[in-house]
Chains A and B, each alone.
Chain A
Amino acid sequence: MAKVRGAVVVDTEVCKGCELCVESCPEGVLALHLEVNSRGYHYSYMKNPEACIGCANCGVVCPDTCITVYRVKL
């Protein structure tokens, strides 16, 4: 199986911190940041970026569509 690396970019100002992406991530990459955005929500970020496989589950479940997913084959 070809190895893949992914990356997630979160639009932190749009994120409402619902945590659904954190729940959906099979690799435990995402977490809510301790800091908040301008509307007071703890936004999602890549806590463990090396583990991301770019499966896009987080983007698919995000109700606010603030997640963009990238993937490369190594």
Chain B
Amino acid sequence: MMDIKEIVKPENLVYGKSELLIDTIMHYCPGCTHGVVHKLMAELIDEMGLQEKSVGVAPVGCAVFAYNYIDIDWQEAAHGRAPAIATGISRLNPEKFVFTYQGDGDLASIGAGEIIHACNRGENILVVFINNGIYGMTGGQMAPTTLEDMVTSTTPCGRDVDLNGYPLKMTELVAQLPGTSYVTRQSAQTAPAVRKCKRALKKGIRNVLDRKGTSFVEVVSTCNSGWKMSPAKANKWMEENMFPYYPLGDLKDGEKGNPVSNN
């Protein structure tokens, strides 16, 4: 039988940490989807040789420390204002690849105005939208994307749509806007889903480099500590409850200026 030491050699490497990921231990909870999406962004920027060209805009939320983890230029934005900051950066530096990385509390709630108008103007940015249906950082309060009857710390009896409104489908909203060129919803709970999500993010980056307009990639995610579940159970709960309301797939894939989504 072959010894492990004979297999563990640099020439046999099939998967390892991207050089763009800084060696800091992430502050995220065990099993958090943020770690996976950070890793995908770092891998893609590295593979596409964009380290010197990339500017990320970090939000307020759990991903507020994103600049500690990926070795590119970052700008911190006020809560929800990442698309406005990204607009400025990308207009003044049209050769740069600019992306925002936002959670659902940031993008769908306080930043709903900014994201709608940035997408409507068709700014050449990639928006990475992490949707876990809860305010993770502040202690699991209800977010605009919280599902009906979902228990959070501010809706202990479940979200009542008569009182709190309906869960907001941001991706469907921005797909209607003529400024967007690529709008998709992905997830990252299994290896095939992560690989698919990586392809979607890559397409988004390509669109920004080709100046096709705004690309919007939603990643349906888990917040296992906010949901009070183990990471594996949270993934299962997401598949059973989040996916029926937030169905995965491309909503729009085309050119800027087309107001109608193609399916």
Contact = CB atoms under 8 A, between A and B. Distances in A.
B12 A20 contact: no
A68 B15 CA distance: 6
Interface residues of B, number: 37
B169 interface: no
B35 A65 contact: yes
A33 interface: no
Contacts, number: 98
B206 interface: no
B195 interface: yes
A64 B35 CA distance: 6
A interface: dominant SS: mixed
Given A14-B25, A20-B232, A56 B33 contact: no
Given A49-B4, A65-B39, A70-B9, A20 B15 contact: no
B191 A57 contact: yes
A16 B30 contact: yes
Contacts of B17: 65, 68
Task: Indicate the size class of the contact surface on chain A.
Answer: 35 or more
30 contacts: A6-B7, A7-B4, A7-B7, A7-B12, A9-B8, A16-B30, A16-B31, A20-B31, A20-B235, A23-B232, A24-B191, A46-B4, A56-B15, A59-B16, A61-B36, A61-B188, A61-B189, A61-B194, A62-B36, A63-B31, A63-B33, A63-B34, A63-B36, A64-B35, A65-B21, A68-B15, A68-B17, A71-B7, A71-B12, A72-B7
